[in-house]
Structure 1
Amino acid sequence: MTTKNNQTNIGRHMRLLLQATLSSALLLGQFATAQTEEESDHPELVEFPASLDSRLGLLSDEELEFLRTPRNTRSYAEDLDQLVEQIEKRSADEVKAYVEAMMWVRDQRGFQEGQDLDHIPLNTDTPEFNAWKVRRPRSFDPEREPGPISLGRYMRGNGGIPTFAGAPVALTPEDLIAGEVDVAFVGAPLNMGSGWRGAQHGPLALRTMGRMSGNDQYTQVNAGSVLNIVDYGDIAIDNDSTERSMEHVREVVREIVETGAIPFIIGGDHSLEYPNVAALVDVFGVGNLGVIHFDAHYDVGRDRAHLIDHGAPIYRLLNEGLITGADYIQVGLRANSPNESIFRWMREEGFKYHTMAEVEKYGWDYVLERVLAEAKGDGRKLYISFDVDVLDPSYTSATGTPVSGGITPREAIPIVRRLCAESNVVGFDLVEVAPELDPTYVTTLHSAAIAKACLTGVAMRRLELTEPHYLNPVSLDHAQDDYHEENQQ
């Protein structure tokens, strides 16, 4: 009988909650908001006006405390005024049922000890446990001197196997050191963090596309003639376990950085930002690295069931104390989240962010100059993480989470080139290219152009072409220059 009564009460509570959902638009953001908000262990309790005493009179002390705790009610009302409005339109009995239903939802939403599976144990007895990432012993290789290996059979390097930027291949840190390598491209074909299948083929698509090397018409700089560039192959990935892959990606990126080379990591999904940035912090130390995050999404997902995925790399870095919000500049945000309360949290944490709303209000040129000024800032080392969904889907349909209203390649290419020329960039990643989602080559074409822009910028910095927005005079029409100078006077 008790069980039946409990089930009847639960059913009554759920019906009342459903009615409240249908009657109030406040509930539409319930789950998204609940997953992204967090409070301190001892949140400040709200105080209700005395006019609500009669409606709150049937609540127990526990129920009243629940109702007065902002993190419990934010899924149903974003602030005190909206919560008061919800209470005012209910009788005392309805308020009690409403609170009971909310408390039931809270209890059901959380982890249920003994009921929910928190993990599937790995089979540590298998002799193949680490087979996916075991390095081949050098004694298995033909004897050779350390250094980059050319895969081309012709004088101009053609006819070989496609590589990033058409560069020779390096296999070991010794190769990087012997070749005095400046930039090491490396693929990271991880695709568990996004839930979409296809991003694991991003490195292959970018190698096949080419177009990362050669002369840059805007600056007349050929990065391949200035820098020693190699393709460091792909990092081994366990695409059944993002968690296992994180450790190994961090290890390989760190070994590149320790040789003095700049890693260019081609993904793969955006969960890679966590091990990439972590690896650079391992080498340069906490507080010595700034990060520019180009993305439609803010990627600081909190209170998620998965501790690492494509929407939470920044939060994991924050949570582990590797970076702070003040170390971050975010560009291109325009997805449904962050909401107002998350933006306020980001401000409190010191994040610098530039949304597409800012672009709409002030124009791209204004935003570009703000980003560049912040990046130069205190002169720290800079890491660039470029999610291709920051571009409008009309330019990058081959990505897992496209969002309309993004920036254009004509806006993205100059800012990346300038960041890499005018700042001390020590690492770069380009992620979320899922080539099967694009029946054309356009997404890969634009992605290669972004990588080339950074490569060109690094070469410009080596050549000390670091003046703001340097463009080679031969690429400009001097008559047009004179015209613009006359009109500005």
Structure 2
Amino acid sequence: MKSVPFLKPANLAKFIDRGIKKSGELLTPWDGSIVSGIGIVGIPLSKTSISHSGAHLAPETIRSMMHTLTTYQIGSGHDLWGESITDFGDVTMHVTDLAECQSRIKESAASLLKQCPHMTPVFLGGDHSISAGTIAAFSEAHGKVGIIQFDAHHDLRNLQDGGPSNGTPFRQLIENGFINGDQLVQIGIRDFANGKLYHDFASDNGVTVYTMDDVRKTGCITILEESVTRLRRSCDVLYVSLDMDVLDQAFAPGCPAIGPGGMNSDTLIEGMVWLAKHGNVKGLDIVEIDPTLDFRHMTSRLAAYILMQFYANYSKES
């Protein structure tokens, strides 16, 4: 094979150091084989967002930010150097038909879970509307699913005023019979970010709601311990839906719905690490990042960091 001086393959680390490997280099395109462990699926949909959003750009940006992280976890002394993370690519969205987009999300997720039944998918949104399709497919594949939702918002809006959107995924899942309300735990719900009508809907349907006041008073890990213990009594597996706007605007400037009074990044990272170790989590989505609004990709960097902490600490036996 002929070579050209000073050329190197694209999409690698910008600076080559023999002692460092970047987390982004662990991403390996799916070859069609049966995959177990964690796999990444991009879902670049943002046209269903109530507010302006460029969240369709987030999957590729998060992948790119993985190249800012190394494979060495200094706290544990564990190096992921020789490992790989299967990247299934992105679900192709229809240009104009939003119902078709949501149908494709469910169909693609269902097909992947059927072909790779022991794979733990990490769905990179996209806005939060993607969760309606991913969790519907997940519940069909795995049975009764318990959901831990980190979010500033209930996402239980009615479907009459605007149709399916990033404000309706959990309403859709409940009304379409994929979950009952008592299978859903919401953590981080904030003051002045929701309507009383939707808090009442949550209460009437048995949804467990922990506000940010609860997080501050009780602690995130205690809440997770209580929630996971209760969900595992009646649910077969757990799914985590991480809306990055659960974070205070200081930690997630790239969220379309930024706001004060939210969680700090240390608390969220600690919670996600605990879930990776103890939660029996078999599915995860990370949603609501708009790279066009972000500052120095702070929010996407944090999402990539959380993804790698989840991967490094993940226990398939939990």
Give TM class, smaller chain: 0.7 to 0.9
Match of 2:5 in 1: none
2:141 to 267, 283, 292: 283
Give the structure-2-normalised TM-score: 0.84
Q: Provide the rounded CA distance (Å) in 2 between the counterparts of 1:222 and 1:413.
A: 19
Q: Which amino acid aligns with 1:265?
A: F
Q: Provide the rounded CA distance (Å) in 1 between the counterparts of 2:214 and 2:91.
A: 37
Q: Provide the rounded CA distance (Å) in 1 between the counterparts of 2:242 and 2:41.
A: 15
Match of 2:46 in 1: 191
Correspondences of 1:313-332 after superposition (within 5 Å)? 313-332=169-188
Q: Provide the rounded CA distance (Å) in 1 between the counterparts of 2:96 and 2:184.
A: 30
Q: CA deviation at 1:234?
A: 1.1
Residue 72 of structure 2 is aligned to residue 215 of structure 1: yes
CA contact (8 A) 1:256 1:262 kept: no
Q: CA deviation at 1:240?
A: 2.3
CA contact (8 A) 2:145 2:235 kept: no
Q: CA deviation at 1:452?
A: 1.6
Residue 302 of structure 2 is aligned to residue 446 of structure 1: yes
Q: Provide the rounded CA distance (Å) in 2 between the counterparts of 1:417 and 1:394.
A: 21
Segments of structure 2 that go 5 or more residues without pairing to the other structure are 1-10
Match of 1:167 in 2: 27
Q: CA deviation at 1:193?
A: 1.5
Match of 2:207 in 1: 351
1:267 to 115, 119, 125: 125
Correspondences of 1:61-460 after superposition (within 5 Å)? 166-170=26-30, 175-177=32-34, 180-194=35-49, 195-210=51-66, 211=68, 214-222=71-79, 225=82, 229-258=85-114, 259-260=116-117, 261-285=119-143, 288-340=144-196, 342-364=198-220, 366-378=222-234, 380-458=236-314
Q: CA deviation at 1:203?
A: 0.9
CA contact (8 A) 2:23 2:69 kept: no
CA contact (8 A) 1:164 1:206 kept: no
Tell me the SS of whatever aligns to 2:146.
strand
Q: Which amino acid aligns with 1:216?
A: Q
CA contact (8 A) 2:151 2:186 kept: yes
> Going by fraction, where is strand more abundant, 1 or 2?
2
Q: Which amino acid aligns with 2:147?
A: V
RMSD: 2.8
Structure with larger Rg: 1
CA contact (8 A) 1:185 1:263 kept: yes
Q: CA deviation at 1:186?
A: 1.3
Q: CA deviation at 1:249?
A: 1.2
Change (3 A) 1:331 1:212: farther
CA contact (8 A) 2:23 2:71 kept: no
Q: Which amino acid aligns with 2:136?
A: A
Q: CA deviation at 1:337?
A: 5.0
Q: Provide the rounded CA distance (Å) in 1 between the counterparts of 2:12 and 2:194.
A: 48
Cα offsets for 1:338-396 (capped at 9, x unmatched): 44554343223111121112124444454344344445444620111111101111011
Tell me the SS of whatever aligns to 1:370.
helix
Q: CA deviation at 1:256?
A: 1.9
CA contact (8 A) 1:168 1:229 kept: yes
More relative contact order, 1 or 2 (CA 8 Å, 6+ apart): 2
CA contact (8 A) 2:247 2:263 kept: yes
Q: Provide the rounded CA distance (Å) in 2 between the counterparts of 1:418 and 1:405.
A: 23
Equivalent pairs counted in the alignment come to 299
Identity %: 25
Q: Which amino acid aligns with 1:167?
A: L
